[in-house]
Chain A
Amino acid sequence: MSIESTLPVLKPADFASDQDVRWCPGCGDYAILAQMKKMLPSLGVPRENIVFISGIGCSSRFPYYMNTYGIHSIHGRAPAVATGLKSARPDLQVWVITGDGDGLSIGGNHLMHAIRRNVDLNIVLFNNRIYGLTKGQYSPTSPLGKKTKSTPMGAVDNPLHPLSIAIGCEATFVARSIDTNIKHLGAVFKRAAEHRGTAFVEVYQNCNVFNDGAWEYAKDRETKDDTTLELEHGKPLIFGKERQKGVRLHGLDPEVVELGKGISEDDLLFHDERAAEPSLAYLLSRMRYEDGFPEPIGVFRCVDRPRYDDEVNKQIEHSLKDKGKGDLDTLFNSGETWTVE
């Protein structure tokens, strides 16, 4: 039997704190919160061993609504707070909740370093392509030309793409899901939780007040089958309502093709989330709806690499083994000393 059977069985409600959830009615955050609460009991991790850490922004209120340990920290710094916590206490399961502004603007530096260190964190970035809490300025993921309160003539700065950033930092686990695709979202969270190392998850999240419909193409029943593509390890990249379309490589570039007409599944690009090189994952992260591609959801990359929190603690263990437990009296009396009678 698994260990889980010996633990008290927790229900989603056990993970709800006593605080009123205060997001705007209709906010995509509710669905994300619900899926998190639903997924966590399936991990068999005791509630007291789970910590949620966030920065600033609408999404960053998340820890208040979880009946676990948590810190609602400061602008963009959640990955750094989490790195300190997880390095000190590798036994805890640590989640970082952030948004496109918090994670990629003010906290871009910390996000980059947490990922490249491969700290065993689960980072969930809610991407709604807008600043919600400060009431509607453009964010680092807003598209070119986006008109907002602070860009009345349209944004002229190129958007960042979270997954490309993460893969560029050699992330060991990268995935994407959508707030309303609840089954998929829960499954992606579970995969992230089970990954050892930094798991980076982008969630397309709707801000119905300041940027309603930003991801409509990926959510609408009528269009989503043609605009998104569900990744499966070892399977060819097939999408479309009739699963009649696929993606194949033309040189180093992907192209959308119709199946049949001389093109079979074997001609398509096959997904390999465990590829040692991040090239495929990066290529997938660059497929955009606006360029005529379906946008992949699911796990882009999942590889094993040494984890920072593990390694720093191993160094301490090794040092203890090599030198023995440090003795202060010996340390203080080392080197040149003299005695006054």
Chain B
Amino acid sequence: MATATPTKPVSDLVEATVRFCGDSGDGMQLAGTQFTTTSALLGNDVATFPDFPAEIRAPRGTKAGVSGFQIHFSSTEIFTPGDTVDALVAMNPAALVTNIGDLRDGGILLVNKDAFDKKGLEQAGYETDPLEDGSLDKYKLHSVDMTKITRLAVEGLGLSQKEADRCRNFFAMGLVFWLYDRSLDPTLRFIEKKFGKLPAVAQANTNALKAGFNYGETVEAINTQYHVGPAKLKPGTYRNIEGNLALAWGLVAAAQLSDKRLFLGAYPITPASDVLHYLSNYKNFDVLTFQAEDEIAAVTAAIGAAFAGEMAVTASSGPGIALKGEALGLAVMTELPMLVINVQRGGPSTGLPTKTEQADLNQALFGRNGECPMPIIAARSPGDCFYVAQEAWRIATKFMIPVFVLTDGYIANGSEPWKIPKVADLPRIKISHPSANGDEFQPYERDERLARPWAIPGTPGLEHRIGGLEKANITGNVSYDPVNHEKMCLLRQQKVDNIADDIPLQELDGPESGDLLVLSWGGTYGSCATAVHTAQKSGQKVTHCHLRYLNPFPKNLEKILRSFDKVLIPELNLGQLNQVIRARFLINTVGLNKIQGKPFSVIEIVNKINSLVG
């Protein structure tokens, strides 16, 4: 409908970034999600960055309560939600003051004028009205009576004023949809599905959405429409996916591919809770979710389920993982396969619950008593979570070991287009359980990978006892023998090291040698990839190496590191991977560190690259 007969000039863009911001409760996440879905359906590549406060409802109109959702959409392949914003929607003064710094000069600024009253300005700390005082002159400012127009648009539907005002986000969406030449159809379908049982609400949201769209079409002050065409993605069927959903789907897929039931033991914690929420809805996929009384029960119940022969998973975030520490030692000692998912957030302690960080690498590597090695795999993007879940389970069962999966709040809540795989094309995960063969069963007998047999209760003749006390190798009997203990520590370490023979060699984006290697892991993938591409385009000899396997490292990593004059390690922590790399390989690496609860912008990494090879 939008593209039929444009009445105003349409300007083609390669890409654009839009941010909706307002009070938490204003529906900014919904507005962002709808814009994302619509853009993805249009064939754009998209990357999103939802950013919301930890407080469910901070006092209305205050800076503490500002919630935002940023969408970067493009006709080319993109990897980040964008550094600067081309169009900003601010629903109130607090949202304006906290977000205006990210709007590029000349960018489009749409504000809800009705919220700029005396109280609103005071709450945001404005001494004069920014809409009047000229401070926003460098932007294309459109102050719109969003509240008033929305109320008029929903008049006669019998809504209270509060209910009417709740439709404001749909008005704002409609306006931005017009501005970027997007169809309203997906959102109209969404309204029908979500509010179909409340006809008045459905109609009100529809009216508000269309009012916003028509406002753009009609009002002379907004005189240009923008168009971002489809991106050339690989052929296939796509959907937009956020990280926690991809992770949940990856877990269900791994269970089916290994003919296992999925057992999730979890305790609610931001930003991991959605994994529990999603999986709770997949009971007909033979998924059992256990909302435990605490983090310790969540992981120990998973250990019980692993002993039972299930695909056992526990999902949490840093503080929850801290509580699970003792049990993870038990899982390592009992050599049971299970997955431990850490959707990282800002720490230490409760830290920044809704903000991202990748500062739990040390916790995953070392956060347990004794010599207690665990394999670690990290996802790099929302869609990648799907594959990481399956790869982790493959390793866990092949080596009989609990495996850490690291994602973070940025990946978990962010989204990107995801090429939908065919289940038949996914690699199967082969698992075997022993049965009695007449010989005495030895629960800690090992195969060539050093994995012990996964004998499950109910199997006659394989009765055995496991536990946290040190085991004698082969028999699994309790042993305090000093030499055996050292041997078992070495065996458990060797088992992890052996995984290096079972994972792919590290791949590079760029030449195999050069001036600079950018070494990254986890959610910084997108910013690093984009920054390195920028550097490569400007002729710099820079290569990107993104690690999925953090313990053990791929076998060729040292050779790669030694093939470059300099190694830069950008991390959203104070240098945790950097420290490991320096200690392991005795290489003089350079760190780029940020701990602001936010992902890297591309320019931050580009600037660092320039300072090293410029």
Contacts and interface: CB of A to CB of B under 8 A. Distances in A.
Interface in A109-128: 109-110, 112-113
Interface in A60-86: 63-64, 66-75, 77, 80-86
B263 A88 contact: yes
Contacts, number: 208
Contacts of B236: 339-340
Contacts of A63: 465, 467
Contacts of B609: none
B300 interface: yes
A337 B420 contact: yes
B237 A319 contact: no
B288 interface: yes
Contacts of B249: 328, 331-332
A326 interface: yes
B304 A48 contact: no
A84 B302 contact: yes
Contacts of B563: none
Question: B interface, by DSSP: helix, strand, loop or mixed?
Answer: mixed
Nearest to B330: A74
Nearest to A69: B457
A47 interface: yes
B273 interface: no
Contact of A84 (B282, B312, B459): B312
Interface in A8-57: 17, 19, 46-49, 51-53, 56
Given A77-B327, A320-B284, A71 B43 contact: no
A313 B310 CA distance: 14
Nearest to A47: B463
A237 B252 CA distance: 56
A155 to B, nearest CB: 26
A336 B464 contact: no
A15 to B, nearest CB: 10
B361 interface: no
B37 to A, nearest CB: 5
Nearest to A64: B465
A87 B420 contact: no
User: Which of A53, A84, A340 lies at the interface centre, i.e. has the most chain B CB atoms within 10 A of its CB?
Assistant: A84
A85 B307 contact: yes
A134 interface: no
B301 interface: yes
A64 B462 CA distance: 14
Contacts of B533: none
Interface string A152-178: 000000000000000000000000000
Contacts of B10: none
Contact of A83 (B40, B285, B297): B297
Given A84-B302, A339-B237, A316 B286 contact: yes
B293 A87 contact: no
Contact of A77 (B232, B285, B296, B310): B296
A337 B186 CA distance: 11
A144 interface: no
A333 interface: yes
A87 B239 contact: no
B288 A88 contact: yes
Given A85-B307, A329-B422, A80 B292 contact: yes
A212 B358 CA distance: 54
A322 B284 contact: yes
Looking at chain A, what size class is its interface with the partner chain? 35 or more
Interface string B176-200: 0000000000100100000000000
B468 interface: yes
B284 A325 contact: yes
Contacts of B24: none
B239 A80 contact: no
Given A88-B288, A329-B422, A336 B239 contact: yes
B109 to A, nearest CB: 29
Contacts of B422: 329
B234 interface: yes
B458 A92 contact: yes
Contact of B43 (A87, A89, A338): A338
A324 interface: yes
Contacts of A109: 293-294, 297
A178 B265 CA distance: 36
B478 to A, nearest CB: 6
A315 interface: yes
Interface string B240-258: 1000000001001100100
User: Which of A73, A86, A333 lies at the interface centre, i.e. has the most chain B CB atoms within 10 A of its CB?
Assistant: A73
Contact of A324 (B284, B302, B465, B469): B284
A336 B37 contact: yes
Given A69-B463, A109-B293, A83 B304 contact: yes
Given A320-B284, A325-B284, A337-B239, A81 B300 contact: yes
A72 B290 contact: no
A320 B288 CA distance: 12
A339 to B, nearest CB: 5
Contacts of A73: 300, 303, 330, 467-468
A341 interface: yes
B326 interface: yes
Contacts of A340: 43, 230, 232-238
Contacts of A113: 292-293, 297
A71 B334 contact: yes
Contacts of B56: none
A87 B288 contact: yes
User: Which of A80, A312, A320, A332 lies at the interface centre, i.e. has the most chain B CB atoms within 10 A of its CB?
Assistant: A80
B131 interface: no
A250 interface: no
Nearest to B326: A74
Interface in A288-329: 312-313, 315-316, 318-320, 322-326, 328-329
Contacts of A48: 457-463
B142 interface: no
Interface string B25-46: 0000000000001001101000
A104 B49 CA distance: 46
Interface string B455-486: 00111111111111100000001100000000
B291 to A, nearest CB: 11
B421 interface: yes
A71 B304 CA distance: 9
A75 B261 CA distance: 28
A203 to B, nearest CB: 21
A91 interface: yes
Contacts of B309: 88-89
Contacts of B458: 48-49, 89, 91-92
B233 A71 contact: no
A52 B307 CA distance: 12
Contacts of A46: 460
11 contacts: A47-B460, A51-B457, A82-B304, A88-B305, A89-B309, A92-B457, A315-B283, A318-B283, A335-B239, A336-B189, A337-B239
Given A72-B467, A339-B236, 5 more contacts: A71-B467, A73-B467, A92-B458, A328-B253, A332-B420
Interface of B: 37, 40-41, 43, 186, 189, 230, 232-240, 249, 252-253, 256, 261, 263, 265, 282-288, 290, 292-294, 296-297, 300-305, 307-310, 312, 326-327, 329-330, 334, 420-423, 457-469, 477-478
Interface of A: 17, 19, 46-49, 51-53, 56, 63-64, 66-75, 77, 80-89, 91-92, 109-110, 112-113, 312-313, 315-316, 318-320, 322-326, 328-329, 331-333, 335-341
